[in-house]
Amino acid sequence: MNILPRLLITMGDVAGVGPEIIARAWPDLPSLARPVVVGDPVWMARALGLVGVRAEVVGAEEEATPSRIPCLVATDQDLTAVRSGRITAAGGKAAYDFLCAAIDKTMGREADGIVTAPLHKEGLHAAGITHPGHTEILAERTGTREFAMVLFGDGLAVAHVTLHMALRDVFAHLSTAAVLEKIRLLARLLPRLVDRVPRIAVAALNPHASDGGLFGDEEETLIRPAVEAARAEGIDASGPYPADTLFVRAHRGEFDGIVAMYHDEGHIAMKLRSGLRCVNISAGLPIVRTSVAHGTAYDIAGRGIADCGSLIEAVRVAARLAGSNPAPGGEP
């Protein structure tokens, strides 16, 4: 008999759509995993009323059912003054506390993985937390040096060499070693998602892959050597390819994974391709972590209209990864 994995679902910034997408998705989640919400019971109960889901919030030790939501209280922040759609230090610190509690419990093998609802970067900074987002907090707290944000949807995964930084800073953070690291991480992750040896393509940095050096030389000096090194290790990698044609080819099924050079190079194409079916995966961590592939949506938070599709997919993918871990705490 297969036992569903225990997944901790962090509420994120309560002023965003996190509580309501958890509430809306909840009736579907116990069939995918054994979920436990890490957050605030008052905000969870409020979200249930907002979206019209009939369920009760219970203690974290209770078993999840479609009408019963186990909730682990994981912050001492007073959230009574927080309002939907507004940045607050309390909301930012609580989101950080929820995440840290989930990481620690999963690292301690009290859970099989984490699924995160969105937090707000300005909320983090208002609380004095300088990390730019989930991925960096996860890496630091788990002691991980090599990691990647991966977007996965409809059978295609995209890893990013650089992530949350100004576009002008990207060039200084690109290197052959950095590109090779992301190729390796994707090559280790993908077999557990596509059930075969993955075909990995590497995107160029410059338009038209620099057109033989007319628009830069990073393709020949930085990216191609990484592809050649990966191939020498037995990884089915190729490129660099111009990003505009590469994503068209991948959409047609030629590749299982892409290594993008910067945030928007991967994100725009994947969100156009898969929309709310996209899932954010943290590759390289010693624990399973997935997330919705959208933000806090302050503009619609508290209205009960947020789509929960990405959260359901994130739980589905986390359960699959947790079920294929080589050992408890093994690398996702």
Domains of the chain: 1-144+285-332 (3.40.718.10), 153-275 (3.40.718.10)
Do 194 and 152 touch, CB atoms closer than 8 A? Answer: no
Instruction: Please report the pLDDT score of residue 213 as a whole number.
Output: 86
User: What's the distance, CA 258 to chain centroid?
Assistant: 16
3-state secondary structure of 180: helix
Instruction: Please report the pLDDT score of residue 324 as a whole number.
Output: 66
Token pair listed for 186: 């994707």
Residue whose entry in the numeric block shows the structure tokens 């939501």:
69
Give the tens place of pLDDT for each residue, 278-329. 999 999 999 999 999 999 999 999 999 999 999 999 999 999 999 865 443 4
- Which of 58, 140, 46, 42 lies closest to 94, judged by CA? 42
Instruction: Please report the pLDDT score of residue 323 as a whole number.
Output: 85
User: What's the distance, CA 212 to chain centroid?
Assistant: 35
Q: State residue 39 phi and psi, 5-degree precision.
A: 180, -140
Instruction: Please report the pLDDT score of residue 330 as a whole number.
Output: 46
Instruction: Please report the pLDDT score of residue 327 as a whole number.
Output: 41
Token pair listed for 193: 């998602």
d(CA 52, CA 20): 10
Do 91 and 82 touch, CB atoms closer than 8 A? Answer: yes
Q: Which residues of the chain have pLDDT under 70?
A: 1-2, 324-332
Token pair listed for 166: 């100004």
Token pair listed for 119: 């937090």
Do 8 and 72 touch, CB atoms closer than 8 A? Answer: yes
d(CA 126, CA 132): 12
The secondary structure of residue 44, as a DSSP letter, is: H
Instruction: Please report the pLDDT score of residue 325 as a whole number.
Output: 58
Do 154 and 257 touch, CB atoms closer than 8 A? Answer: no
Instruction: Please report the pLDDT score of residue 329 as a whole number.
Output: 44
DSSP states of 198-258 as a string? --EEEE-SSGGGGGTTTT-SHIIIIIHHHHHHHHHTT--EEEEE-HHHHHHHHHTTS-SEE
Instruction: Please report the pLDDT score of residue 133 as a whole number.
Output: 83
Do 53 and 23 touch, CB atoms closer than 8 A? Answer: yes
